Structure 1
Amino acid sequence: MTAKTLMIQGTSSGAGKTTLVTALCRILSDDGYKVAPFKSQNMSSYSYIGKDFEISRAQAIQAIAARTKIIPIMNPILLKPLGNYKSEIFVNGVSYRKMHARDYYKKFALSTGLEQSKNALDQLLKVNDIVILEGAGSPAEINIQRYDIANMRMAEYCRSPVILVTDIDKGGSFASIVGTLALLDKKHQKLVKGFVINKFRGDVTILQPGYSVLKKKTMKPVIGTIPLIEFDIPDEDSLHANPKQVSWTKKYLLTLDREIDHLANTVKKNIDIKKIRGMLN
């Protein structure tokens, strides 16, 4: 069996990729599918430590949302920042070595990093109905695009449709969407099937004229507008000076599960789930 795939990418860091993947893992799990999250490369100081492995806590939480076992191949490459452009690199949950960013890009990313990421994804595809992939940052970071193993390379590898999510609360979302697409290769533009507008405040009808213009310029639809909501699920620390600490107790996991349900219910009410199901290839 080869799983169906869907990838969530963003116009920037903090756009809402992680929370959207978390919500979709729970929504599709509720539908009865065997679901797994996957992020080939993640940078975070805060991790989930299993019995004999360590991965990003974001993928651990997504696995909980999917009601599946947390395993290292869900995040085959983890970078834990050490300062001065250096990170400790974990491969499939095991410490590999400490590397400067320059060496990581030139000596690791497109060799060991890409190979291990593809192998990990292949394993997940064999034992699940659906794998939800999460990108990193933006796929249009043209200064490091050639070394990017977390976005379009993975989508192209598994022929996954891509949903592009943007944070409208920061402003500039329409320009970010159009600009992101413009900076992608034509073959990668074709993989993008639609957009999700995240963190919106107010009456969604005021966005409709913008959506019409966006559709004319990109020939792709907005498939959901998610309101800015309160939920108690830890963010990645790359955007926050004081990210929430997590203690993986039974009590916390019960609380986390309720928060995931709250997030999933909100997302389900505000995106076109039928279109998303239709995108699963």
Structure 2
Amino acid sequence: MIQGTSSGAGKTTLVAALCRIFSDEGYSVAPFKSQNMSNYSYKGDGFEISQAQAVQAVAARAEISPHMNPILLKPLGGYRSSVLLQGRFHKNMDAEYYYKKFVLKGGLKTAMESFSILEKQYDIIVMEGAGSPSEVNLQKFDIANMQFAERTHSPVLIVADIERGGSFASIVGTMALLPEKHKRLVKGFIINKFQGNTRLLQPGFKKIRQITSRPVLGVIPKVALNLPNEDSLDGKVDLFRKQNRKLQAELDKLAKTVKANLDMKYVRGLLK
């Protein structure tokens, strides 16, 4: 599972890259995100999921499935959202009801059911977390990060966006706020969106290793990509057919960049 120190750290893009890398190596691969919040979605044949998992499925060369994003929350305003389960509308809920009454019961059950279905169909499932796993006010209700990794016995890699600044502190802080049982799931860190000489980062890597006992597995450079943005997928079911060649080329470029800058031997060693 790829988790992040914050929203926008690069989880979605990194999952897409790993899906393509493992697909290139001959594995059958599926992306998965148990819960996503977005008003932008991919509409398939009788189902609707987050645009991110649709692009990741294309990267994996897998058929887009509602089980790749079993819970989609579409904000309505006023702390209310439309809740879609396995691609179909379930009901509208306010945030209090969703977290206190639904997410740990019906939500988690639905997500686990979808994961089990994909697990039977694919060699590898590359999961994406949401936001940060260290939001202590939400950890009890967070089924997109460590709770799900724990239930599925999945190793976790944490990615940090160095372009924002404070990436070393965010990695250490994230680890400090995790319960011990969840710290044990974390196998390493990835620095994303770097521009410059990676040798300058070595003192930071050494300090992170001293504090957390985990390695930095790679530094991914900032790269210009022309992947579909969020609103371009809404209602355009044939987008992938129209732009297939262009999209495939962008995904290949992404995978090549990540593979060249990530310790893939270590990552492959985490596979079950």
TM-score band w.r.t. shorter chain: over 0.9
CA positional deviation for 1:156: 0.5
Work out the CA distance in 1 between the residues paired with 2:228 and 2:267. Answer: 25
TM-superposed deviation, 1:167: 0.3
**Structure 1, residues 232-251: CA drift from partner, whole Å, max 9, x if none?**
1235xxxxxxx542343322
* 1:251 partnered with 2:242: yes
Deviation, structure 1 residue 122: 0.8
Q: Deviations over 1:135-176 (max 9, x none)?
A: 000001111110000001111011110000000000010110
Give the one of 197, 204, 210 matched to 1:210.
Answer: 204
CA contact (8 A) 2:40 2:231 kept: no
**Unaligned runs of at least 5 residues, structure 1:** 1-6, 236-242
Q: 1:194 aligns with which of 188, 197, 220?
A: 188
2:56 is matched with which residue? 62
Q: In the TM superposition, what are the counterparts of 1:143-182 in structure 2 within 5 Å?
A: 143-182=137-176
Q: How does 1:1-281 map to 2 (within 5 A)?
A: 7-235=1-229, 243-246=230-233, 247=236, 248-249=238-239, 250-281=241-272
In 2, Cα distance between equivalents of 1:31 and 1:150: 27
Secondary structure of the 1:42 match is strand
- Alpha-carbon distance in structure 2 between the residues aligned to 1:157 and 1:234: 32
Paired AA for residue 112 in structure 2: K
AA of the residue aligned to 1:15: A
Local SS of the residue matching 1:245? helix
Structure 2 unaligned residues grouped into runs of 5+: none
Superposed displacement of residue 187, structure 1: 0.8
Q: Give the deviation of 1:102 after TM superposition.
A: 1.1
Distance in 2 (CA, whole Å) between partners of 1:254 and 1:112 is: 39
Cα distance in 2 for residues equivalent to 1:105 and 1:146: 9
Q: Is the 8 A contact 2:154 2:185 kept in 1?
A: yes
Distance 2:183 2:228 in 1: 31
Could you tell me how far 1:253 is from its partner in structure 2? 2.4
Deviations 1:26-69 (A, max 9, x none): 00000000000110000011101011000001001111100010
1:179-231 deviation line (CA, Å, top 9, x unaligned): 10111110110100000000001011100011001101100000010011100
Give TM-score, length-normalised by structure 1. Answer: 0.94
**SS class of match (1:199):** strand
Structure 1 residue runs of 4+, over 6 Å off? Answer: none
- Report the Cα distance in structure 2 between the residues aligned to 1:212 and 1:190, rounded to whole angstroms: 20
SS in 2 for 1:188: helix
- The 2-side partners of 1:187 and 1:228 are apart by 33
Distance 1:41 1:183 in 2: 22
Letter in 2 for 1:155: A
The one-letter amino acid paired with 1:183 is L
Q: 1:10, CA displacement in angstroms?
A: 0.3
Q: Give the aligned residue type for 1:182.
A: A
1:254 Cα deviation after fit: 2.1
Quote the Cα distance in structure 2 between the aligned partners of 1:53 and 1:108.
Answer: 21
Distance in 1 separating the partners of 2:271 and 2:227: 26
SS state of the match for residue 26, structure 2? coil
TM-score by length of 2: 0.97
Q: Give the superposition deviation at 1:84.
A: 1.2
Q: CA RMSD in A?
A: 0.9
CA–CA separation in structure 1 for the residues paired with 2:263 and 2:227: 23
